[in-house]
Structure 1
Amino acid sequence: MQSGRFKVFSTLLAWFEEFRLYRRFYWDAVAGAELPAGVDYAVFDFAVNSGPARAANYLQAIVGVTQDGRIGPATLGAARARPAGVVIDALCDARLAFLKRLPTWPTFGRGWSGRVGFVRAEALLLSAVEPAPPAPAPGQGPSVPSAEAAHPEVAPDPAVPAGNAFWRLLLAIFKTILGGKRS
């Protein structure tokens, strides 16, 4: 969205509300902007599907800190101290094990397994390469007013580190949704 490759009409108020809710109740709840690249996506997707506290607890168990269901400085430090690929693999393995214990696994297991597999693959790709956001040419901005300008409540938080992690993850989520429909 910030680079102008993905645009949303400013009249799509329901979309902006949903976007704001996902950011507030899932991304911010798991400190997504502060997690390493790739780990952020794996934890975020886990949080959306199983709750932020469960996603945080599983991450905390993997990185070896006290499990309190809230990602804070100790969890962030421990997550950054381990290779992202190792954390992603362990988190996806633990998530799949959790899902297999659910009584609805026989009905939904195939789809859940596919989703976790896709999230793992995308998260590993994200962890391998942290693309730099394209910078606009000096004095040039987008030719069309951006959706962020029309809706400042969804504008990127200045505290989000370079790389626009939330926007990157939003695109990964769209890939997950579209990828999950192919059979």
Structure 2
Amino acid sequence: MKKLIAGSWRKGSFDANQFAKSLLLFRNALRSGAASPAQMVFNRPLRDALPAHRRSFAPEWQQKAYILEKRARRAKDIQIEHYNRTAHALQPFSIGDHVIVQHPISKCWATQKSAQIVIISLRHQLVVSSPAPNNPPPQERNPSGLNQPNATTRRTRGKAKVYTNLAPRRSTRKKERPARYSD
């Protein structure tokens, strides 16, 4: 509606005639696949500023449009009936069910870490407990790393952790020279 009003201004003044024409076009527009509001009131489409042949307003064309709308409505009902034949309501979650959680930003599903439902609130909001995403599970270290000369230890909360300075792992795949075009 604001766009209609803004489009009715010409050279700094409001053009009421232009606004009336645009309002007529707006009211004569179809609404969600059904007839327009003006067509529902008058039982026929209104003539407006859009170019149209005068026979397009003839009653036989309106009857054919009604038949097409009726067919479309029937097809939609059949589609809903076929869908509802196999569809069923899902069972609500219960406390202790294992669920898969989706990351809210990246929209990736956590497939390796499962979460468990802890609390279900009155508004069907679920509280789940899951392993912390930023804390990977502890990896087992080689206890013989203490005897290596390049091993380091670090104290964390009273416990000594051993980290060995091993060479980074490399791929064992056979490396081939890339095939490039020669000049």
Query: Looking at both structures, which has the greater relative contact order when contacts are Cα pairs under 8 Å and sequence separation is at least 6?
Result: 1
Q: Which has the higher strand share?
A: 2
Normalising by structure 1, what TM-score?
0.18
Q: Which has the higher helix share?
A: 1
Normalising by structure 2, what TM-score?
0.18
Q: Rg bigger for which structure?
A: 2
